[in-house]
Structure 1
Amino acid sequence: MKGMRLSALAAAVLATVSVSVQADFLNDSSLDIKLRNVHFDVKTDTPGNDWSQWAQGVQANFKSGYISDAIGFDASYYGALKLNHTGKDPFSSTMDGGQLLTKDYKSYHKFGQAYLKAKFGDEQQGFYGQAGYMSGQKGLILGSGSRSTPSSYRGAHGEVYVQDFTVYGTYVDRISMRTENSWDEFKTKSGDTIKHAWQVGTLYQANNVDAEVVHLQSKGFHKQSMLNLGYTFDLAENTSLIVSGNYHYAKGSGSIWNNNLNDKKESLNAFDDKASHLNLNTELKLGGLGLKLSYATTDAEKKGGLGYLKYTYCDNEYGASPSAVSRYWSDFMFDGEKVLQVQGSYDFADLNVPGLNVSLTYTDGSDIKDQGSDKMTGENETDLIISYAVQEGTFKGVSFRAIKAWHTEKYDTKKDIESEHLRVYLDYTVKVF
């Protein structure tokens, strides 16, 4: 009888703990739906290359609480509905992925994320990790979030942090491109398969210092290392000077790289053997006014062609460029290219219009070393960005952003090529619970 009473007590305790664990898991969970209405319009003076796309993107993002304050599960469902499409985007056929719609200009839907997550420790020191289907996190595996929905990877990511210092690592072996519903192997331009990629890095952010070092390798194809450094000088109230730099080094490595290099009139690789990119920036902030000056240079020789530094580790992945001079039409990373960029921005909160921001950027690249038949010698791009986020009232959380880019490619063997690119985003996130 006593044993039965103890068993009943144990069952009651376990039930109470189980209810408590489930309560923590559910009470700390959230579901939001992000709606993105986005329109791209491209016009060039090259016949047949004008196109536009208009889509309604949807992201349903579930984030769980943690069971026993340690284990959880997150998932995201992505989709985009085709609203309009005109012309043929010449880049979709070469990149294996579309712009706002699939590469064959259709709507799509997919599970974009589904991963287990774990955490240990507290805010000062501990561990965080996740494994499954996920978006990029840090370093050189970041993915792209500038289309209807983001790109995703299959793999694992973990980081150990002690106060302001973090050490992280990432392993990935599949990609779901930003507008495709499949999970694909990493590929080169020749169709060779890259089995996986991994990176390790360190990050420090404190005491006005922002520093990161990361090394990445894609199996049999690519090695990359990157250093980011920045320091903020607090000159006066609402006045600061930010100096920063980025150095990126890439090297072809392995049989897959060599297969794309040998026995061809022109290599399919971005450069012959190695490439580097140096970017230096100075930014002055005076209240809402920002003034920025950037310089960059690239070394990426390619015999018989136009070399460039490829900051992604395969040819069907589109990550975010780490360089400040990378723009909306061009990355300004061609071989020999010397880049000067000036930027002005203003936050209208100082004029009692919070949420309104405007920036104007001019980027000029010269001294390009093009060894191809049509020799590109330089380029320039002007970018105007206007953004506004509603701060209060019924439409709080609605944000609008319009980007207009004008780009010119300069040649010594033919006339210059002019292009115009318009991007318009209307975003709104609905919190379900």
Structure 2
Amino acid sequence: MKNRSNKTLIATAIGMVFTSSTAFAIDTTGHSLELKTRLVQFDVDVDKTTTTGDFRQLALGNQLEYKSPYFSDFIGIDASLFQVNKLGESSVQKNEMLPNDTADSTKVVNSWSQMGQAYMKLKHGDLVEAKIGRQLHNSLLLKSTNSRAVPDTFSGYSFSVRPTSEIKVYGSVYDSWLPRSGDKFQKFGTEVPVDSTNNKGVTKNIIDTVTIYGTQYINGPIQIDFESLNSKNYLQKYGLMGSYTFTLANKETLKLTAGISTTADDGSLFTCAAEKELDYPTGTTNCKNDGKGKFLDLEWKTGSWTIGGAIAKFNGLWIEDNFAASNVSRKGSLIQDHGSNFFPTASTSGNDMTNNGELARMVRATYDWNKYVNGLKTAVKYKLGTGATNNYQASLGSGRESEREYDIIYATPSIKGLTFRYNYLKYEAHVTGTIKAITEGGSKAFREDHRIYVDYTYRFF
């Protein structure tokens, strides 16, 4: 019944869009209608000595996206319908792209659909812009990710003000979100477990709002960003990042970026069960957080090459997760996202590399093969974190982690809008004692990902 209703919703939405396009047949200036289709496969090995926990998942994601012009140069409406279908699945099923089945939490649903974006947009000249409703978000401490079949989106309102061409002041307040592997908007929450009998939180774990405000300054080669993120009664973050781009001879550039960020507990929702990365011993009732990280990044662009390196240092546990799904509406599908890690040394698929005492390093290189194969780019990254210690008491655990990543992207010149991507990731870690943020209590961590993406965008008008 659910799949039938989903198909009816999709058919109705598509019909409405094409009816609208007929109405706009005389003049579609300013209107936009696109279909974004993504075929994505994850093949994941989570233990190099056995096949326990290994999984494979193949899914097809669709986004039908409409954008209106600003009517009277003031108001408009944008909307995106998301739909994801399972095409293949191993015996071990993970909620990487589809949510768990309510009837059986060990399985995922076959398909889901949702109005991922639907917002009213407002503007006043070049001074003020605002969005009210379901929307993508992209700022220093929170980003909609696009590594699954469809991105995650947030429900609430956002605004930006530009008093001058160099300065932007912005803010957002959200009260729910659509996870990248979820079929409906959920309240924000902490990782406090649920009572499996009545499916209600053992303790109150719902975060009412996530509030963001910040400012950005861009003037020629200089860019400075400052942002605050508050998960109400749970976590407070601040982030500051600045960069300067030097113009060199022969069209070369050298970009220097530095940043600092803090995390701290901010109310009654920050309990010992609210964040799985806390190393506090069993029985502790008063858990706190006071983490800080700082980084320095250097990037050199010359010809077809982009070469970079970064170093980051952490004192205390810098928590990546700003919130989780509230976990009261669907059994067995705690989503321990969503966080955004703006450190260049961040791990892509492993752990955060933001542990107490950790020194993280990264080197990267990208090559554009346009001279030889039009549309082809390749990239390689290596990350290493050492000196990580238990965030409750350093003597209780120490660890080391590393990650390798290879990326091949090919945008076909013969078919506009068609892109192929293969991404390989290998993460490994070793811990003496206990560091839950790395191994959740074990001595080793391992993950090897093979990710394949086929993206196609077709624009109707």
Using structure 2 for the length normalisation, give the TM-score. Answer: 0.79
Residue type at the aligned position of 1:397: G
CA 1:315 to 1:335, structure 2 compared with 1: closer, same or farther past 3 Å? farther
Map 1:319-358 → 2, pairs under 5 A:
319-330=339-350, 331-349=352-370, 351-358=371-378
Q: Does 1:265 align with 2:282?
A: yes
- Contact kept? 2:322, 2:339, Cα under 8 Å: no
Q: Match for 1:421 among 449, 453, 460?
A: 449
CA 1:419 to 1:160, structure 2 compared with 1: closer, same or farther past 3 Å? same
1:197 equivalent in structure 2? 210
CA 1:348 to 1:74, structure 2 compared with 1: closer, same or farther past 3 Å? same
Percent identity among equivalent residues? 26
| Cα deviation 1:110-144 (Å, max 9, x = unaligned) | 1101100011113xxx1110001111132323222
TM-superposed deviation, 1:318: 2.0
Q: Match for 2:318 among 309, 322, 344?
A: 309
2:123 equivalent in structure 1? 119
1:230 equivalent in structure 2? 243
Output the CA distance in 2 between the equivalents of 1:250 and 1:116: 33
- Contact kept? 1:24, 1:66, Cα under 8 Å: no
Map 1:158-237 → 2, pairs under 5 A:
158-161=159-162, 162-190=164-192, 191=201, 192-237=205-250
Structure 1's unaligned 5+ residue stretches are 1-21, 93-97, 301-307
Residue type at the aligned position of 1:184: Q
Output the CA distance in 2 between the equivalents of 1:266 and 1:62: 52
Residue type at the aligned position of 1:35: T
Output the CA distance in 2 between the equivalents of 1:354 and 1:247: 38
Q: Does 1:80 align with 2:106?
A: no
Residue type at the aligned position of 1:377: G
Structure 1 SS opposite 2:142: coil
- Contact kept? 2:270, 2:288, Cα under 8 Å: no
| Cα deviation 1:332-380 (Å, max 9, x = unaligned) | 112211111111211112x243321111111111111036999451011
1:105 equivalent in structure 2? 108
TM-superposed deviation, 1:26: 5.1
1:406 equivalent in structure 2? 426
- Superposed CA RMSD in Å reads 2.5
Structure 2 SS opposite 1:237: helix
TM-superposed deviation, 1:260: 4.3
Larger Rg: 1
- Contact kept? 2:97, 2:182, Cα under 8 Å: no
- Contact kept? 1:25, 1:66, Cα under 8 Å: no
Output the CA distance in 1 between the equivalents of 2:151 and 2:446: 29
Output the CA distance in 2 between the equivalents of 1:113 and 1:292: 35
1:295 equivalent in structure 2? 311
Number of aligned residue pairs: 391
Residue type at the aligned position of 2:447: S
Q: Does 1:430 align with 2:458?
A: yes
TM-superposed deviation, 1:205: 2.3
Map 1:11-160 → 2, pairs under 5 A:
27-43=29-45, 44-45=47-48, 47-88=51-92, 98-103=95-100, 104-106=107-109, 107-122=111-126, 126-160=127-161
Output the CA distance in 1 between the equivalents of 2:121 and 2:362: 41
Residue type at the aligned position of 2:309: L
Residue type at the aligned position of 2:363: V
CA 1:201 to 1:266, structure 2 compared with 1: closer, same or farther past 3 Å? farther
TM-superposed deviation, 1:237: 2.2
1:250 equivalent in structure 2? 263
Output the CA distance in 2 between the equivalents of 1:177 and 1:396: 30
Per mean C-alpha deviation after superposition, the further-off stretch among 324-333 and 360-369 is 324-333
- Contact kept? 1:143, 1:319, Cα under 8 Å: no
TM-superposed deviation, 1:73: 0.3
- Contact kept? 2:272, 2:285, Cα under 8 Å: no
TM-superposed deviation, 1:259: 6.7
Output the CA distance in 2 between the equivalents of 1:34 and 1:320: 24
Output the CA distance in 1 between the equivalents of 2:55 and 2:36: 26
- Contact kept? 1:50, 1:87, Cα under 8 Å: no
Residue type at the aligned position of 2:356: D
Output the CA distance in 2 between the equivalents of 1:130 and 1:250: 28
Structure 2's unaligned 5+ residue stretches are 1-23, 101-106, 193-200, 326-336, 434-441
Output the CA distance in 2 between the equivalents of 1:170 and 1:252: 20
Output the CA distance in 2 between the equivalents of 1:268 and 1:285: 51
